[in-house]
Each structure stands twice: as structure tokens, then as C-alpha cells.
Structure 1
Amino acid sequence: MSRETIVLDHLGGHEAAARLIGGRLEDVLIDGAAPRVGTIYRAIADRPVKGQGGMFLRTPDGPAFLRQVRGLAPGQALLVQVTGQAEPGKALPVTQKLLFKSRYAIVTPGAPGLNISRAIRDDDRRDVLMQIARSEMDGGDLGLILRSSCAEGDDDAIAEDIRAMVDLAAAVVADAAGDAEVLTQGDGPHQMAWREWTAPADVITEAGGFEAEGVLDQIALLGVAHVPLSGGASMYVEPTRALIAVDVNTGGDTSPAAGHKANIAAARELPRQLRLRGLGGQITLDLAPMAKKDRRQFEDALRAAFRQDTGETALVGWTPLGHYELQRKRDRAPLEVPQ
């Protein structure tokens, strides 16, 4: 039996997937009503936003916002891809840099070249993968990135994955003319689990898997702000309209090093909590008191923790009041815990 378990089930009538390591919930994906990240539209340019260098677009799912537009005129059709979740009342964030992503391959229209993940260090394996890439790609305007999962992947499966993504990319790029339309839907939780969770695992697909594996109990804990940490410390993760506030407390420990230990524990747990709760945007950490000389060690612990996280997070730094700030991409909807 593998230490890692993937459970494919439904929650609240929506498709859902959970990843557990040693029985502990590490990630959960739940489908929702909003357009999925990765959805590709043929959109219509609507109106520019002066001073922001962007333009609102018209899509079948409502307005979208595209940054850094040049030479784009109202009424023009263009291909865009959803990059994240929109805040309530705001337009969908989109980009013109399309990515066709699967378990082993990412095809990049308009960015030619053959690339292999730097996580694959074995030279012989890299040579084999480059041969596969060259045999499946015919040059042109399509680029290819072979993902780290190719290190242990079956060569025939990798080649098949490349062909599928190349065919899909070619079909979408060739369909750029016309009115606003959804050309491809983003991947749902079950497909995302297959695509992103590539380590050896036991996969459970039977209905009721969330309850049988204790996923529901662990999701219920995410409905409260309080998060217990080691040594009796705790933190509170509280979303507000403007930002995510994280308050770190030492608990009953009154030793001189209590604040430093609590902050290190919070740094190690924070990526998991943000990932499970589906939280992004501006994040402000109100840390427990610690000496300035300990800040470097805290930063190192925080950086190491986020290095293992798949979410795109920028560690911004310290404020004059001694808070620490981060900026995290909104790549999933906030978790709504069933009551």
C-alpha cells in the first residue's frame, strides 16, 4: 500500500479530488460554477482601460480582463486563456499566452523550442526524452515542455501525450475567427488530479471515498480560522475583503524562544492551509514577537515551505510595523465547507 492516497469523489454535488499523505489531507480540488482555470475562449475585444494598459473582453461567460495589450482594437477576435479565479464582481483574468497542459507535456503556441524540466537531472534520460520530443514535434510555431513526471513516465505514454496536446493546440489556434465562444474547457478536479499528482499512489474511485478515508472530517476543520501548531502554538487564517490576515500566537509557552518557534511552525504550515482553503491575493502575517536577528531563519523556513508548493506565491517582505507580506495567485476558488 502506498503512503500517498488519491480519492476521486463528489462533494456537494460537485466533482472533487483529494490527496492524502499518511492519511493527512495535503490538497483538495473541488469544481464550482465559475469558469475553470485553463478554459480557452475566442473572445472579442470590448473597451480599453486607460491608464492600466489593459482591455475588457467579451466572452460567453461574462467580461474578462487582459493586461498589456498592444495593437488590439475593439471588435477584434482573439484567443485567451483563463489564468485564475475572479474576485466577486470582477472580470475573469486571462492571457494570450496559451498553454496546453497534460500529465507529461505542455505545448506552447507562439513560443517554439523543445525544453525538458530541470528537475530531471539524469543525462541519459534527458537524451531519450529529447529524442521523443524531436520525433513528435515538427518545428513550426509550437513549443514543447516535458514535465518532471517524464522522469518515470512510459515513453509511449509520453509520446501519445505530446501528440494529443499538439493536435488540440493546432485545432484551437486554427479556430481564431468568429464570435465569442468557449473553445476548450479547463480540466476538472479528476483530470487535474491525474495531471498534477503524479507520485505513486493508491487511487480510490468508489463513491463515498471522502467519508471512508476521513477527507470529510479534515475538510470540516478548514471551516474555522484556528489552526493548531506544534508546541501549543496556533495561528488564525482569516480572509477579509481586502486581504488574508494570518495571526500567529505562542499559546501557553512563555519561554524567550516561544515566538520564534511559533513563527517557524506557522511558516511550515502556511502553504498547506492556503492551498486547502483556496486562498490567494494579498496575505499579511502578524507574527509572534521575535528578535530581528531571527528574521532570516524565519524567511528561510518560509521560502523552503513554499518551494514545495505548486501555487505561485511571491514573498514580498517586511513592513515597517514588522508584519510579513506575501502575494499569492488566485488559481482556485475559496473552499466552501459544507455545513
Structure 2
Amino acid sequence: MIKKKQMLFGNMDGELVVAILENGKLVEIHFEHMERLTGNIYLGRIENIVPNLEAVFVNIGKGKNGFLRSKDIVLPNKKSSKDLQVGQKVLVQVKKDPIGSKGAQLTMNIGIPGRYLVYMPFAHGTIGVSKKILDLDERKRLHNIVDPLISKNEGVIVRTVSQGIEVEILASELEDLKTLWKEIEKKYKRSRKPKELYKEPDVLEYVIRERYDEKVTEIITNDVEIKNRLEVILKKFEARKNIVKLIEEDPIKLFNINQKLERALRRVVDLDCGGSIVIDSTEALTIIDVNSGSNISGNGFREMSLKTNLEASKEISRQLRLRNISGIVLIDFIDMSKEQDKKLVLETFKEELRKDKGKTAVIGFTKLGLLEMTRKRTSPPLKNSLFSKCPICDGRGFVISPKRLINRMVNDLSNLYHTEKPKKVILNLHRSLSGYMNGERRKFIRNKFKGVEFDYKFDWYDPNSYNINIKKK
């Protein structure tokens, strides 16, 4: 249960950062510099049509061409994707941000989001109510409110925060979204070259629109301008008043967000019970392993494993949100022999995922006991904003073992020993090898290359290589 939910607006490394805490734990972080294309609307030009992929590549003026699948193509007058031609201009919206070598994923089924509703001009009368609204009477009420407000060609998605909101507020927002759409349409008709027609709001408005809800107990900042802007945004969304708190110290520093972020993003995340989870991401999927570690609580293995798995399910849910992990996720919980234990862990995990604004689907346990799930990707993972690929290991996370590297060095020394006849050799090695090159190994090298004086310097920049400097005199 969330007893305290805080939104912190402060500064980290010279840029605006928004951190969201639940019961004192960091669950999400948003950076001003994180360029999101998801939700932006573009005039695009078709560059290539690939029937085998059932897709179209579209130039939207943003580097790599976007990828438009056949199922995301919406054309007037019941035309099909076969009617598209290279060079044709199209109106598209980004569904998923570009990542790695992949360009942005696009759709022609436009959706313009507000705080309470998403207006879809080409949805042909479709009305969707958020699945997270469980009350059947409320679902029916919301459906009946928006139904008379749209034409047979339009559609609306009613968002979770619409629960309990008055008719007037929903109708007013829908009218605003329709007006915005008309402006986008005008720009599209007047333009020819690929260009941006609509851009999602900055981090302040985006976070309030997408993350603010009735569970937020306080919004904290130390910047008067940010406070004033937040109050204007909250008023626009008909949110509670007097919830923004101005303090003297930067809240990012006051709440130790840097330290919380560093601890949370480690490969091995410790659990309070003494266990841990290990998170490894690949190109295809993310694997999470649950370990009991030093946890010896409970009466026997069953009780210990259940306690660890229950705590892990809560932490994994938090990590998915914080790291913005998406795609296929496999979770290897500690073995549970009883079906009732598996059911309890599964129910706990699903309940925790209800806090996630991202779209998740839990498939269930496989025959091997792995829990399968997916989380929809709209923007790149957090690590892409905080880290870059290691220039030493090329992102593999490994370097050459000391034994293999020194054997290679000895082989190179052997060739130089016979061709150059050196009197002195200066060996530049990475500092991580200082312990490996002990007295015994140095003695081995001296005996192998008699008459040569060796000087070891552990100042080399690269753990995968070394430098051999020979002196003949």
C-alpha cells in the first residue's frame, strides 16, 4: 500500500530532474534531456515499401527512417496499404522511440493524449475505458459520458485518472483535444517536407499529466519559477490546490536521490530479508534471478523461499518501472513446490504491477518454473540516458582475463627478445593487473629472458592491452 507518494523537482548534474518516491523508495526518475519522440506527430514521406516485412519506411526528418507496420496503416475511404506509394506524404505518430539500430515505430492511428482522455480522430466510434478502472458502474458512467461527444469516425480512450471526474471537465478536455487536432491537420495540409507537427510537452507538464494522481501526497521543489509553473499546470488539470511545497535545499540532494539511484541500478540488488535479485538485460529479453543469499529466516526452506519471493516480486516491479525495462522479461524465482505459494507470489506481483503506468502482461509460470511477462516499450530504458557503451569491453561487460593477457605479453616479449636483443624493457600494464603480477610471475619472466632488466608500470589505460617499451642500451 502506498502511504506516501512524493514528486521531487530539482537539479542533478546541472539539469532538471523529476524523481518519484513511494513510501520513501525511488520508483521513477525523469530527466529534462531525455528526448522522447513517442507521442509526437509528423508529416512523413514514404521512402520504401517492403512487402515481405509488411511494412513501410517513412522519413520523418529525424535521422533513421521510421518503421510503419501494415496493421498501423489507417487510410480514408477503406483504402489498403497497397494503395501507398513511394514519395507519398503521410501523417504519422511515434508509437515507440528509436533504440539501438532500430528507427522509431510509427502509426497512422493518431492518438492525442490529455490528462483524462486520449482523442483518436480515426478510430471509427471506438470507446475504450482503462482496464485499471474495475468498478463496472463507473466504467459504464464514463462510457456514457463520452459516447455522445464523438462522431462515428472518432474514438476516445478514457484514462485511469478519469475515475470520479465530472462530465463538464471531461467534455471540456475533449473539446480542447479536438481543437488541437484541427491545428495539426491544418499544418499537415499546408506542408510538403517531413516535419514535426506536434510535440509532446516538456518534462514538467508531461510528468504531471502522466504521473500525478490522487495518491500523490506532496510535490516538492526549491525553485520559485518551477513552483509557479507547476501550480499553473495543476490548475489546468483541475488538480488539488496547495500541494506544491517550496523548500530551501534542492530536494534531489535532500532526499539523496543520487545515492538511491546508484544503489538501485546495480546488477545485484539486495533485499531487506537478506536475499537479492540479479538483473541482466540482453538485446532480446531481460532475465531476473532471485537468490536467497543470507536469508535464513522462517521454519524451513518453504517458508524462507516464499518470504524471499514475495519481497522480490515487489522489488522487481519497482525495478521494471525505475529502469524502464520493456519487452520480454523472464523471472527465476526460488523454487516453490506448492501451487498455493506460486499463486500467492503471482497475485502479489500482479498487484504491484498495477502501480505501473506502463502496459504489462503476466503470462504465467513455464514448465521450467520461470515466470514470463512483457512490458510495453514506448521510450528507451533508463540506462541509455545514464550510461554509454564501455569503449574497453565494447558493452560486453568483460575484459580479457589476466592469465590470457600476460601469456600474450610473454609471447610478444619472446619475439622481441630474439629480434631486438633488448637490455631493458619497460612494461606498461593496467592497474588491475598489479596484484596478478606478483613476485613469482615476475621471477618467471626474469628467468625466461635472462640478461634483461624489467620495469613494471601500472599506468596503462586499457585492461585489454599493454605497452612494451624496449631499451637496447
* TM-score bin (small chain): 0.7 to 0.9
- 2:360 corresponding residue in structure 1: 313
- 2:204 corresponding residue in structure 1: 190
Secondary structure of the residue that 2:52 maps to in structure 1? coil
CA deviation digits over 1:230-277, x for unaligned, max 9? 421110122233322211101123532133332232222212101101
Secondary structure of the residue that 2:301 maps to in structure 1? coil
Task: Return the match for 1:326 from 373, 389, 403.
Answer: 373
CA deviation digits over 1:47-69, x for unaligned, max 9? 12343211211111121111125
| TM-score with structure 1 setting the length | 0.85
- 2:116 corresponding residue in structure 1: 104
- 1:4 to 1:82, Cα distance in 2 relative to 1, 3 A: same
CA deviation digits over 1:29-77, x for unaligned, max 9? 2244544321111111111234321121111112111112523222121
- 2:222 corresponding residue in structure 1: 206
- 1:284 corresponding residue in structure 2: 330
Structure of larger gyration radius: 2
Give the distance between the partners of 2:202 and 2:277, measured in 1 at CA. Answer: 31
The equivalences for 1:219-230 within 5 A come to 219-230=261-272
Deviates more, 1:247-256 or 1:146-155: 146-155
Give the distance between the partners of 1:128 and 1:241, measured in 2 at CA. Answer: 40
- 1:253 to 1:220, Cα distance in 2 relative to 1, 3 A: closer
Q: Is the 8 A contact 1:120 1:151 kept in 2?
A: no
Shift of 1:80: 1.5
Q: Is the 8 A contact 1:98 1:108 kept in 2?
A: yes
Secondary structure of the residue that 1:231 maps to in structure 2? coil
Secondary structure of the residue that 1:288 maps to in structure 2? coil
Shift of 1:174: 4.0
Q: Is the 8 A contact 1:278 1:334 kept in 2?
A: yes
1:256 lines up with 2:301 in the alignment: yes
- 1:53 corresponding residue in structure 2: 54
- 1:124 to 1:32, Cα distance in 2 relative to 1, 3 A: closer
Give the percent of matched residue pairs that are identical in Structure 1 and Structure 2: 24
- 2:279 corresponding residue in structure 1: 237
Shift of 1:283: 1.8
Shift of 1:100: 0.9
1:172 lines up with 2:173 in the alignment: no
- 1:335 corresponding residue in structure 2: 382
Deviates more, 1:163-172 or 1:152-161: 152-161
Shift of 1:124: 8.6
- 1:303 to 1:49, Cα distance in 2 relative to 1, 3 A: farther
In structure 1, what residue type is equivalent to 2:262? A
Deviates more, 1:121-130 or 1:86-95: 121-130
- 1:335 to 1:140, Cα distance in 2 relative to 1, 3 A: same
- 1:80 corresponding residue in structure 2: 92
Q: Is the 8 A contact 1:104 1:150 kept in 2?
A: yes
Q: Does 1 or 2 have the higher relative contact order (CA < 8 Å, sep 6+)?
A: 1
- 1:332 to 1:113, Cα distance in 2 relative to 1, 3 A: closer
Task: Return the match for 2:105 from 87, 93, 103.
Answer: 93
- 1:172 to 1:120, Cα distance in 2 relative to 1, 3 A: farther
Q: Is the 8 A contact 1:36 1:188 kept in 2?
A: no
Q: Is the 8 A contact 2:28 2:322 kept in 1?
A: yes
Give the distance between the partners of 2:288 and 2:98, measured in 1 at CA. Answer: 22
- 1:8 to 1:319, Cα distance in 2 relative to 1, 3 A: same
Shift of 1:153: 4.3
Task: Please identify which structure carries the higher strand content.
Answer: 1
Task: Please identify which structure carries the higher helix content.
Answer: 2
Q: Following superposition, which runs of at least 4 residues in structure 1 exceed 6 angstroms of deviation?
A: none
Give the distance between the partners of 1:322 and 1:128, measured in 2 at CA. Answer: 40
Shift of 1:211: 1.5
Give the distance between the partners of 2:219 and 2:264, measured in 1 at CA. Answer: 23
- 1:124 to 1:301, Cα distance in 2 relative to 1, 3 A: closer
Deviates more, 1:321-330 or 1:112-121: 112-121
- 1:157 to 1:206, Cα distance in 2 relative to 1, 3 A: farther
Q: Is the 8 A contact 1:16 1:190 kept in 2?
A: no
Give the distance between the partners of 1:85 and 1:228, measured in 2 at CA. Answer: 31
Secondary structure of the residue that 1:241 maps to in structure 2? coil
Q: Is the 8 A contact 1:15 1:190 kept in 2?
A: no
Q: Is the 8 A contact 1:35 1:61 kept in 2?
A: no
1:64 lines up with 2:66 in the alignment: yes
Give the distance between the partners of 2:317 and 2:88, measured in 1 at CA. Answer: 40
Q: Is the 8 A contact 1:312 1:329 kept in 2?
A: yes
Shift of 1:123: 5.3
| TM-score with structure 2 setting the length | 0.63
Question: RMSD of aligned C-alpha atoms?
Answer: 3.0
Give the distance between the partners of 1:186 and 1:211, measured in 2 at CA. Answer: 28
In structure 2, what residue type is equivalent to 1:218? K
